[in-house]
Each structure stands twice: as C-alpha cells, then as structure tokens.
Amino acid sequence: MKTGMLLAALTALFMVLGYSLGGSGGAILALLVAAGMNLFTYWNADKIVLKMHNAVEVDASSHPQFYNMLRNLAQRAQLPMPKVYIVDQAQPNAFATGRDPEHAAVAATTGLLKMLSHDEIEGVMAHELGHVKNRDTLIMTMVATIAGAVSMLANFGLFFRDRNAGIAGIMAVLIAPFAAMIVQMAISRTREFGADAAAAQISGKPLSLASALSKISGVAARTPNPVAERNPAASQLYIVPGGVRQMFSTHPATEDRIAALQAMAQGGGSDGWSARPDEIGDMGRLRKPSALDPTR
C-alpha cells in the first residue's frame, strides 16, 4: 500500500509539473505521457536494462555452477527459472529485471563473482530473486522512468517555460526533481528491506547475505560503474549503490540492512542448509563471449 501511494504521488507530481508548464492541457498531456511510458516500460524494461549493461546470457553448459545455483534458489522460492546473465564489470554488484516472475532475468557482475564465496553469492542472488518474487522489478523500473521524466520535463521547463506563468510555475520546475528523488528513494529503500527478508527465507542463510553486503558495499563505492555514471537512475537496480552519499542513496544504510539480517538469524532465519563441497568452485571467471553465447 505504501509503495502504491508513493507511486501515485510520483505520477501526480508529474501532472502538477505538466500543469505548471501548460495548464490543464499540460496536466492531461503529462498523464498520457506517464501512462505511455509505463506501458512501454512494462514490455521492454528487461531488454533496456540488459542491453544497457551489455549483459551476456549464460546457461547450464557455459557456466554450470552459477546457473545451477540460481535454479536451486528459484525452486526454493517457488519461482519459474529466470534468465541468467553476467555483466563484465569490476564493480561487485547484481540486479534483477523483468515485468513479472515469468519474464524475469537476474544478473551478477564478474567483480561480484570473483570477490565472494559460494554462500555469499547465493545470498546475493537470493536477494535478487526476492525482488522478483515481490514484483519489485516492474515497480522500480516504472519509478525510475517517471522520476527521470520529471527531471527531464523540469529541465525543459527552465528553458522554454512561459514567462507569464508566475512564481508558482517557477517553484514547480525547481522543486519537482528534488521531490521526485525523495519519492524514488522512499520506494526503493522499502523494496530493499523486503528483498533482504525474502533472501533470508529463500536461501536460509541471512548471515551469508550480511557478509556479502559487508564485503561489497565499500568496494562498490570505490569502483567506477560506467552504466550508473551515464544513467544515475540505474543505481536503484543494484543490490548496493556505488559512489553515492547516503543522504541521496536509493538504498538503506548497509549497516541497517546487516543488523536486520543478523536479527533474522538470531530469530531462526537459517534452515541449516549449506552447499556441498562439490558445488563450490571458481565462479569468478568470465569465459570468452563465444563460450557464453546462449545459442551455442
């Protein structure tokens, strides 16, 4: 309910900005644009996100340990098997995308696969499947789309707004992007805590996810992410943000997330399951693109 209300507030903000620039006609046009953008996002979000990251699809033959881990986690979560991708990027991170569980995709960077242990990778990917199970992948992409449109429209209004629109119009143009950012952060932070809780249930190892967050958060902040630098809205997709001050982060403080996971473990969040020795291997090596080609 909270997420729905915040998403409605973001759409209303877009309409208010449209009204400030073009009156009632501008508000109606803004609503139609928002609806059109969300419809386009619904069908194409996964393709856009994966292409933006140059993600490479893998399968059981090209990357068996990572793929089989995801298959096991999907079965535990009672989810359809998602498409699995690897992004050749040094920043340790992961994300999920797709309009629903039947059309989901999950991805991890080579930096993450090289850095973490089997159980820690499992905790991270369980978090991403938590997003899929909670249907966050569609919500967060819609939020990023509208928030980005608000900023774009506001920038447009600064240069082409009617000079007679008055102080109210000027304030709307100046305040709207900041308000959109606040709403976007509120929705994203709520979704991250929910995905952490889902990961603890799916993997049965909340402390493994806590350990992974502790390891990658600092490194991610120091490691460049070309995709997020070109498109800041993409930062909300990842399990940890990179290079963003906490005040402006779309994620809760990592320390708070770790504390919550530790509390789950103390409350019996783990079911005692652990990987067999033969399941653990070197999953940090990205094979050459031809070996990862899903058509082979």
Print the SS3 string covering the chain: CHHHHHHHHHHHHHHHHHHHHHHHHHHHHHHHHHHHHHHHHHHHHHHHHHHHCCCEEECCCCCHHHHHHHHHHHHHHCCCCCEEEEECCCCCCEEEECCCHHHCEEEEEHHHHHHCCHHHHHHHHHHHHHHHHCCHHHHHHHHHHHHHHHHHHHHHHHHHCCHHHCHHHHHHHHHHHHHHHHHHHHHHHHHHHHHHHHHHHHHCCHHHHHHHHHHHHHHHHHCCCHHHHHCHHHHHHECCCCCCCHHHCCCCCHHHHHHHHHHHHHCCCCCCCCCCHHHCCCCCCCCCHHHHCCCC
pLDDT at 223 (0 to 100)? 93
Segment 276-292, tens digit of pLDDT: 333 323 333 333 333 33
What does pTM read for this prediction?
A: 0.75
**Residues 192, 140: Cα–Cα separation, whole Å:** 11
Catalytic residues: 128
Whose CA is closest to 288, among 93, 62, 100, 23?
62
pLDDT at 91 (0 to 100)? 95
Low-confidence ranges of the chain (pLDDT < 70): 2-3, 6, 148, 151-153, 155-174, 176-181, 183-184, 186, 233, 242-250, 268-296
Q: How many CA atoms lie within 13 A of 145 on its CB side?
A: 23
> Can you give the residue ranges of every domain in the chain?
2-270
- Amino acid 161 reads R
Residue with tokens 């019996």: 268
Burial class (CB in 10 A: 0-12, 13-18, 19+), 170: middle
pLDDT at 112 (0 to 100)? 97
pLDDT at 189 (0 to 100)? 76
- For the record, the structure tokens of 280 come out as 């653990």
**Residues 135, 202: Cα–Cα separation, whole Å:** 15
pLDDT at 1 (0 to 100)? 73
